[in-house]
Amino acid sequence: MSVKVIAEVGCNHKGEMSIAKELIKVAADYAKADVVKFQKRNNRELLTEQQYNTPHPNPANAYGDTYGAHREYLEFNVEQHRELKDYCESLGIEYSTSVWDTTSAREMATLAPKLLKVPSACNLHFEMLGVLANDFDGEIHLSLGMTTQAEEEQIVDFFVKNGRAKDVVLYACTSGYPVAFDDLCLLEITRLTEKFGESVKSIAFSGHHLGIAADMAAVALGVSWIERHFTLDRTWKGTDHAASLEPDGLRRLSRDARAVSAALRYKSTEILPVEQVQRDKLKWRPKPNAVKAA
């Protein structure tokens, strides 16, 4: 199976539908990603009163006077998400979103995308995981950044017990923006594959690093999905832009990930057809009538 690429828009649309649609169009037509992903939060449910009413910790990235107002500014409602999903479908790319609370999980399940994602931040929110397990038929993708190994086991056990583990895709992830290469710890992909590969559908990689070299290593380690943040301009205001790929980076990621994925196989026959041509032409063989060197 070829690796698939998720262009994670998250909140990089800056609260504007026109930018969200432009990101979808570029991801579909130019970069040829498989999925465009957004985020859905119910901020009143997710944040405490105090968090909601306190100013954003980094005023340079704030879109509102309080953290709550900032988050609301970046939020699309269910109908807007439906519009984005329809737009994705019209361009032949899958729509998805991550869900951050039970209300959002219920709301987004009604849109019935092929997959919904649980961000690292919310992977211990078992009530929300239960909503996905019970009310959503598609694949449940779940990131494992900032998660202990005991917590990982708890999460996988939860889905094994409710019979949904074979619909779960687990993402190796280091939560940081951006992540230095020596914090990427790509061999976690191998550890997760060895530990949970038989229990869940597959193992994937969610990256917040610079460039696309590490993604190629992740593909070589056997991941089924690569998720990367995507923006039109890395200098835009907001937390995720700097750790995002721009259109050309996403285009190269999709192209190269598919190339590496296609190359990652054993020879199906000892001499491949492409080699047979060269073998007939070039391969040294003893020649029965050759003149022996003196």
Rule CB under 6 A: which residues touch ligand PEP? Answer: 10, 39, 98, 117, 119-120, 143, 145, 171, 173, 175, 206
C-alpha distances in Å from residue 215, one per residue of 119, 162, 184: 19, 32, 10
For residues 248 and 262, give the distance between their C-alpha atoms in angstroms, rounded to a whole number.
21
Nearest to 170 by CA among 180, 154, 37: 154
As measured in angstroms, the least distance from the Cβ of 6 to ligand PEP is 9
- Closest CB to ligand PEP among residues 51, 276: 51
Cα dihedral 247, 250, 255, 259 in deg (nearest 10): 160
Q: 137 burial class (0-12, 13-18, 19+ CB within 10 angstroms)? A: exposed
Element spanning 71, H or E:
helix 67-73
Counts for the chain of helices (H) and strands (E), in that order: 12, 8
Measured from the CB atom, the residue of 188 and 275 that comes closer to ligand PEP is 188
Comparing CB distances to ligand PEP, the nearer of 78 and 275 is: 78
Q: Residue 176 or residue 275: which is nearer to ligand PEP going by CB?
A: 176
**Sequence-separated (6 or more) residues with CB below 8 Å from residue 34:** 4, 5, 6, 93, 94, 254
State how far the Cα of 139 lies from the Cα of 287, in Å rounded to an integer. Answer: 60
Residue 24 in tokens: 């979808």
Please, what is the minimum distance in Å from the beta carbon of residue 207 to ligand PEP? Answer: 9
CB 124 to ligand PEP: min, Å: 12
**How near is the Cβ of 169 to ligand PEP at its closest, in Å?**
11
Nearer to ligand PEP, 133 or 179 (CB): 179
The conformation of residue 124, written as its DSSP 8-state character, comes to: T
Torsional class of 131: left (φ above 0), alpha (ψ -120 to 50), beta (otherwise): alpha
Output the smallest distance, CB 173 to ligand PEP, in A. 4
Q: Which is nearer to ligand PEP, 154 or 175 (CB)?
A: 175
Taking a C-beta distance cutoff of 8 angstroms, is the pair 226, 205 a contact? yes
Q: Which is nearer to ligand PEP, 146 or 187 (CB)?
A: 146
| Cβ–Cβ under 8 Å, residues 239 and 232 | no
Nearer to ligand PEP, 175 or 275 (CB): 175
Give min distance, CB of 278 to ligand PEP, in A. Answer: 44
Rounded to 5°, the CA angle 12-239-104 comes to 60
Taking the complex as a whole, how short is the minimal distance between the CB of residue 121 and ligand PEP, in angstroms?
6
| In the complex, least distance from residue 69 CB atom to ligand PEP, rounded to whole angstroms | 20
